[in-house]
Structure 1
């Protein structure tokens, strides 16, 4: 018996964690899980510094002095409606979407920064068609025709009815599990499950 406390981001609860938690429950059915979900990496790091959880799962934390273990590289993709003019082929240059209004994220959401930085590197500032607080809403809004969205590829269901494009240059972030000090045996065991499930899911390591 016991409880494992995990701090993470909303998008990671959707993408990386479900497979790992399913495997964990099969081997540790008596251990409860409590998730503390945050919008931004900075909030996640601050919460971990304050002792919120046993471990964190999120993008690589800059300047972290505790223990960090790399899980792999999370790819982000561009989603558009199936009938969108850009829905051709598998790749797209982000600069080719410079004149479009985007499905964006609310200020303070970590993926808002990711999109803004990717577009800036491509030479433009994204115009906003709609902003959403919910990571899961972004691909649905894009598939409905409101504009392109940049989303982690691992949050998209297999039967997703939008069109998926791989941005050029590619957009990605390194995902890690980290703790303030040496993880206790329960946290260390869960990190091992995370590493295995990330590799099984095809996350680049």
Structure 2
């Protein structure tokens, strides 16, 4: 296949009209340029220049090839520019997979900043309800970065962004309103909004209550912690959610667990040296996890919650 250097030599010959001038423009020797042209002619099976007593003349085939060569050289130049901008972290495409509760709670301010400061970076966002499923996507090259709770296992590079508290959610008129916190044992006998087994929260809660020898009375299941919070707030039962599930400010009673329980929030990637990935993780670290009033589910700056 013809090399870009050979095509560049042909275009220079067309533009300059002589081997001497073309070689000078390309900062190469005349023999080196002639070698590139000869290699191109062997590849094409036809001459691209005619050697005259005084100088050269580009053939019809040579001019036709040169026209297409200009397109290829322009594309190659754009490719190099794109590569440089991506390497500098100001261009390219970043694919992000996140737990669905992370979007509004953690990512929106960072995504907004990127759209403002680095508009040439294309951001693709995929939401999941399973940390393990996100890791499968990462290992299959379906995403560049995973943001969410700890998966069952991973061999990828992990950065801990912070710790997120787990809380109890119930309807506003629930008896838990008289308490500052709720022990796991107090959930026994309460109608409980649980999670689909495909959601890591379901597995985590089963293990969590088992260590405290508590049985739950499951009335329905969902894959979404945000939906679980809304269902509990509507009086369908009580549930346990991460505080990130409260970003939509559901009309619900929110109480801490006693003792308090937290989970790590991670940024996971296969290529930590990638400029875009590195910069995005740095921005997440710089911003930190939002501070939440676990008595109301509000973040600082939110509108005052309605009285219970």
Partner Cα distance (1:6, 1:18) in 2: 12
Task: Show the 5 A alignment for 1:20-39.
Answer: 20-39=110-129
Match of 1:202 in 2: 291
Identify, as 1 or 2, the structure richer in strand: 1
Count of aligned residue pairs for this structure pair: 202
* Residues 80 and 30 of structure 1: CA distance in aligned 2, closer, same or farther (over 3 Å): same
Residue 156 (structure 2) aligned to one of 60, 66, 72 = 66
Partner Cα distance (1:14, 1:138) in 2: 16
* Residues 188 and 105 of structure 1: CA distance in aligned 2, closer, same or farther (over 3 Å): same
1:192 Cα offset (Å):
0.8
- Residues 94-131 of structure 1, C-alpha deviation per residue, up to 9 Å, x if partnerless? 10111112111122111112222222222123221221
Q: CA RMSD in A?
A: 2.1
Match of 2:181 in 1: 91
1:78 Cα offset (Å):
0.6
1:171 Cα offset (Å):
2.4
- 2:129/2:199 contact within 8 Å kept: yes
- Residues 28-78 of structure 1, C-alpha deviation per residue, up to 9 Å, x if partnerless? 223221123322222122221111111111223455333221100011111
- Structure 1 gap ranges (5+): none
SS in 2 for 1:3: strand
Mean CA deviation greater in 94-103 or 115-124: 115-124
Instruction: Indicate whether 1:2 and 2:92 are aligned.
Output: yes
SS in 1 for 2:164: strand
Match of 1:173 in 2: 263
Match of 2:144 in 1: 54
* Residues 130 and 62 of structure 1: CA distance in aligned 2, closer, same or farther (over 3 Å): closer
Instruction: Indicate whether 1:129 and 2:219 are aligned.
Output: yes
Partner Cα distance (2:165, 2:188) in 1: 21
Match of 2:210 in 1: 120
- Structure 2 gap ranges (5+): 1-90, 293-308
Instruction: Indicate whether 1:146 and 2:146 are aligned.
Output: no
- Residues 143-175 of structure 1, C-alpha deviation per residue, up to 9 Å, x if partnerless? 111111111112314754211110113222111
Partner Cα distance (1:176, 1:157) in 2: 18
Task: Give the TM-score normalised by structure 1.
Answer: 0.88
1:4 Cα offset (Å):
0.9
Partner Cα distance (1:66, 1:133) in 2: 25
Identify, as 1 or 2, the structure richer in helix: 2
Match of 2:109 in 1: 19
Q: Which has the higher contact order (CA 8 A, sep 6+)?
A: 1
